[in-house]
Amino acid sequence: AAQVVLPWISGQSASENPEEWQRMLQWVERDQVGGLIVSTGAPRVLLAKLNAAQARARVPLLVVSDLETGPGMRLRPGGTDFPPAMAFGAAGSEALARQAGRVTAAEARAVGIHLTLGPVLDLNSNPDNPIINVRSFGEDPARVGRLAAAWIAGAREGGLLAAGKHFPGHGDTRVDSHVGLATVRGDSARLATTELVPFRAAVDAGIEGMLVGHLAVLGIEGPGAGPASLSPRVIGGLLRERLRFEGLVITDALNMGAITGRYPVPAASVRALQAGADLLLQPPGHPEVIDSVAEAVRSGRLAPARLDQAVRRVLEAKARAGIHRGAAVAGDSLAARVGVPAHAAEARRVAAASITLARDRTGLVPRTRPAGRVLHVSYGEAGGAFTAELTAAGWRVEHARVSARTGAAEFARLRARAAEAELVVASAFVAPHQYRALGLAGGFAAFVEGLAAAGRPVVAVSFGSPYLLAGFPSVPAYLLAWSGSEASQRAAARALAGLAPITGRLPVSLPPFHDAGEGVRRPG
């Protein structure tokens, strides 16, 4: 029973958190868990921690991590950061997606990670989705499937297993499943022609795992539907029978609100296995979960053959990763494999190819070295590297940061400064994050819309969600960079300054303003 359980560990060292380090070793030695899901940490610390765990394991551990935006998402500091999936959708390049998979695999395996929870196979067809957004490749099923298949191929070339998510599709939802139970309303016919298309492409590409979301599939199971992660009709019917998937089925994290708000975690874990899941991800109180699974077998509620089948798939995944030949990872080559210049160059290539000019009604982009002052007003955490790159291009930039708490007096001062500027650049970093609202708050949107409505030359730049345009629909120019990473900020600045071409296309529609596939191209 323990082989199907993956508890969470931090990326902290033994000296930073000795109590957790000892707990981890107990989980491995006493509980004999099947693996671990690891969070953020420095590469050398993660390597040492995972090697210590593997040294205590009777059966080698399957180590899992979420590396959606590249290894730098968890290997921090030091790992390579990529823009999110929607940037690849804007670039439209399967070659770039494949190379990103290779880079992610190289750095993940260098520290002892065997399987990543990705790529995201959801179609972000709902602009109000609070948690998927730029994590998706886009809204076109065939394009998402092609890009995902390319990423999977690259990861496999580097020896990294992949588990696509969130089956059967979290894109057309309005609830963050970290908080509550999201609903999918499409019926069987709708799912077959839309949401399931990328998952089918991933299965055809040989993906090793599939993560099933905590989603109520109302069109299949009716108004009383529970989470798909606990549903025999979704796992057995849709995934196993219709898509003919034979690999490892993983539940989404069992500490999420969609589960903990409805069920005791041990009972939900047994239900997930009964439904056909093979791996229980991140259950809180995992020793009780293991005992509950064992008791379910003894009482006849869970067939021994079902548990054997799940364990066999876990062991097959471990064998596919090659860890039966030696689970320890040598640290002497870490510096040559993680965060190397060649990998950073790949991230910059993606960022540059993804820059998308959704509109430019008055010819503001590109702007080659303005004679006057440029006012850059940034909302959120990004914007420093963008300003630095514009300054390096010879621009005279005044940079002001605002937030949801910025008051009316400060916006009034900025309006006065904008009246004297040759150009106003309004940038925003808003990206999906669990347990947090997605969107602009405070007076920033009204400030930008007021400048645009008054005829001021304003370029709005999004370093995240493309749907921010709804907050300032009058802006004459709207540039999308998809990410607040340094690579994306510098790529956006170079595009705005005319130092690089703009070639991206919208991978999603921005209703009612722009359709998917639109994009104004500009030569460098």
> Following DSSP, what letter does each residue of 67-136 receive, concatenated?
-TT-GGGTBTTTSPP---HHHHHHHT-HHHHHHHHHHHHHHHHHHT--EE---B------TT-SS-GGGS
Closest CA to 446 of 399, 419, 420, 414: 414
Catalytic residue among 114, 166, 170, 178: 178
> Following DSSP, what letter does each residue of 32-69 receive, concatenated?
--SEEEE--B-HHHHHHHHHHHHHH-SSPPEEEE--TT
Q: Residue 388: exposed, middle, or buried by beta-carbon count in 10 A (0-12, 13-18, 19+)? A: middle
CA angle 252, 257, 259 (to 5 degrees): 60
* Residue 111 to residues 59, 115, 119, 208, 330, Cα–Cα distance (Å): 19, 12, 20, 20, 8
Do the Cβ atoms of 205 and 97 come closer than 8 Å?
no
What's 235's DSSP letter? I
Q: How far apart are CA 20 and CA 8, in angstroms?
A: 11
Do the Cβ atoms of 67 and 74 come closer than 8 Å?
yes
CB count in 10 Å sphere of residue 190: 14
Q: Do β-strands 182-184 and 161-167 pair in parallel, antiparallel, or remain unpaired?
A: unpaired
Q: How far apart are CA 335 and CA 95, in angstroms?
A: 26
Q: How far apart are CA 524 and CA 504, in angstroms?
A: 13
Do the Cβ atoms of 488 and 119 come closer than 8 Å?
no
Do the Cβ atoms of 430 and 438 come closer than 8 Å?
yes
399: annotated active-site residue: no
252: annotated active-site residue: yes
Q: How far apart are CA 121 and CA 245, in angstroms?
A: 15
Q: Do β-strands 477-480 and 356-360 pair in parallel, antiparallel, or remain unpaired?
A: antiparallel
Catalytic residue among 66, 252, 278, 286: 252
**3-state secondary structure labels for all residues of 288-303:** HHHHHHHHHHHHCCCC
Which residues does the annotation mark as catalytic?
A: 178, 252
